[in-house]
């Protein structure tokens, strides 16, 4: 029945722990990723930046300033320098209601450390950030995925840059890709855009606040996955699920888990 279909659909919604459980712990730390897993996140979301000496690290911004006690561009610092930084204390200051002493002094993880901590068979949802700033980022990512024997059936690579995704697709067509999109006005997707994205990606990730039911249904009817970002309130999660999204990026994976359970 349609009731059963609706419930089945509910269960399949991918719960993407955005920067880990970043509502509760400092984003892009192993602690935050572990918390995401414990809170029933299906995927660990990792944003990539590259150091001066070519190491891939998990960080959202191109600069160190917001999420560490360092300053300046990631690309102007070596991994050794970045490893000395405190990637947790800022969170305690910014979010005293979620502060914990154990967050002080947490390190910026490398992608390799993330792979070591969670293993080959974890679900990684990895974003190539500012790929134009970091030539060779896609090859480096692929090399590390291969080196660690990461299960590619469980890997998703995402980017706002279609060039970066096309590069990944050329390097290894077996890697599943998601095209991120950012709308500043009500979202529309033409048939031509859908067809062009379908050439290389299995889904899209639009910002959640400019899409509507019609948009979601068009995407789904065209056989693409749709994972809106970043949704932190239960009512909005429920609305998006009702519209037919197939996954959601959230800083609060526990809340999405509750919505999926009907709580
Ligand atoms: O990757 C989905 C979402 O995280 C995109 O925005 O800026 O949080 O990486 P951002
Ligand atoms: Ca991201």
Atom of ligand 1 nearest to the CA of 45: 1
* CA of residue 158 to ligand 2 center, whole Å: 8
User: For 2-260, CATH number?
Assistant: 3.20.20.190
Atom of ligand 1 nearest to the CA of 160: 5
- pLDDT of res. 263: 87
111 versus 2: the higher-pLDDT residue is 111
Task: Answer for the pair 166, 191: CB distance below 8 angstroms, yes or no.
Answer: no
Q: Indicate the SS3 state at residue 63.
A: strand
pLDDT band at 1 (very low <50, low <70, confident <90, very high): very low
- pLDDT of res. 244: 98
Please state, in angstroms and rounded to a whole number, the distance separating the CA atoms of residues 16 and 248.
Answer: 6
Q: Report whether pLDDT(137) > 90.
A: yes
Q: Which protein residue's CA is at the shortest distance from atom 7 of ligand 1?
A: 60
- Please work out whether the CB of residue 205 comes within 6 Å of at least one atom of ligand 1: yes
Q: Tell me: the pLDDT tens digits for 59-100?
A: 999 999 999 999 999 999 999 999 999 999 999 999 999 999
Domain ranges, ordered by start, for the chain: 2-260
Geometric angle at alpha carbon 209, from 223 and 124, rounded to 5°: 55
Catalytic residue flag (residue 18): yes
pLDDT band at 3 (very low <50, low <70, confident <90, very high): low
Alpha helices per DSSP H over 1-157: 2-12, 30-38, 79-83, 89-94, 111-118, 137-147
ipTM associated with this complex: 0.98
Q: Report whether pLDDT(8) > 90.
A: no
């Amino acid at each position: 029945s349609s009731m059963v279909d609706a419930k089945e659909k509910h269960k399949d919604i991918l719960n993407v722990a955005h920067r880990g459980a970043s509502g509760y712990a400092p984003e892009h730390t192993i602690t935050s990723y572990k918390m995401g897993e414990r809170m029933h996140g299906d995927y660990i979301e990792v944003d990539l930046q590259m150091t001066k000496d070519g190491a891939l690290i998990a960080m959202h911004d191109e600069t160190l300033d917001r999420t560490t006690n360092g300053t300046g561009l990631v690309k102007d610092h070596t991994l050794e320098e970045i490893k000395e930084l405190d990637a947790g204390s800022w969170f305690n200051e910014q979010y005293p209601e979620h502060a914990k002493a154990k967050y002080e002094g947490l390190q910026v993880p490398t992608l390799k450390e993330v792979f070591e901590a969670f293993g080959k068979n974890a679900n990684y949802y990895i974003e190539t950030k500012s790929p134009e700033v970091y030539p060779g980022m896609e090859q480096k990512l692929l090399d590390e995925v291969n080196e660690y024997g990461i299960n590619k059936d469980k890997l998703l690579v995402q980017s706002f840059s279609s060039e970066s995704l096309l590069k990944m697709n050329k390097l290894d067509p077996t890697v599943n890709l998601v095209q991120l999109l950012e709308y500043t006005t009500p979202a529309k997707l033409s048939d031509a855009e859908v067809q062009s994205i379908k050439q290389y990606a299995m889904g899209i990730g639009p910002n959640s606040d400019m899409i509507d039911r019609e948009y979601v249904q068009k995407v789904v009817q065209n056989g693409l996955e749709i994972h809106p970002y970043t949704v932190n309130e239960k009512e909005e999660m429920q609305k998006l699920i009702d519209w037919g999204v197939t996954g959601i990026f959230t800083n609060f994976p526990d809340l999405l888990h509750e919505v999926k359970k009907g709580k």
